[in-house]
Amino acid sequence: QTVEAVATTTVNVFYIALRAGLGALAGIAIAFVGIVVLRTLGRRQTIYAEISRYTRNALYALGGLTGAYLGAQLAVVAVATPDWAQYATQAMQTLRICIILAVAWVVVGLVKALEASIVSGVRSSGDPGRANRVTTQAQILRRVAEVIIVICGIVGAIMTFPAARVAMGSLLASAGLISVIAGLA
């Protein structure tokens, strides 16, 4: 009976790992097609070229992680509820956190692409003084946006834990109140 349980568990784990791996490959393939489309569109408009340049690695990571999560989720549903379901739940939690952080990485790449597109457009106008001012302003806005995006990504990852939701909710509410007071001041 013990040997049968071990054999069943091993088959289930390999099944879940296989489905997660196939999902990751499918996600990476979809990301590759998206990047090729962005590069093709980038021949006509620079914003698409910049997006493909700054988000390529992040899109591969996001595609692979999302595919792995969906594949593992489908496999876990197909497998009868095992005694080791808590470990599958922890693995799914880890994948969820990685997906949230990968989305933040993609959004940071989009902000960098937007900044590069704006700066290149202003530099092509020919006024070096204006180009320097816009470059400095765009860099400052990009850095502020990156900080906000990273903080939102970290908060989003922490909020996936049920115990942290209550604490983070009250912390974010107090931070919102402080920011309103600072804005009025």
Q: What's the pLDDT tens digit per position in 57-84? A: 999 999 999 999 998 888 877 776 666 6
> Under 8 Å CB-to-CB from 4, ≥6 apart: which residues?
none
Instruction: Give the residue ranges of the chain where pLDDT is below 50.
Output: none
Alpha-carbon distance 64 to 29, whole Å?
8
* Degrees, nearest 5: CA angle 96-101-103: 95
pLDDT at 24: 92
Alpha-carbon distance 36 to 14, whole Å?
33
